Amino acid sequence: MPIPLIIIIAILCLILMHNINRSKRLTKERSDQFWKQEADADNTRKKDISSLDYIYIPIETLPFGVDTTKEVAALEDTLRRLDSTKILNLSAYTNTELKLEYGVANLSYLSECDERFTLLIRTLYQWAVLLQEHDFINEAVQVAEYSIEIGSDISGCYYMLADYYQAIGNTEAIQNLQKSADSIQGLQADPIKDYLNKSLA
pLDDT of residue 10: 67
* Domains of the chain, residue spans: 5-200
Mean local confidence (pLDDT), 174-193: 91
pTM of the predicted model as reported, rounded to 2 decimal places: 0.79
d(CA 63, CA 74): 14
pLDDT tens column, 27-45:
665 655 655 555 555 556 6
pLDDT of residue 165: 96
pLDDT for res 25:
66
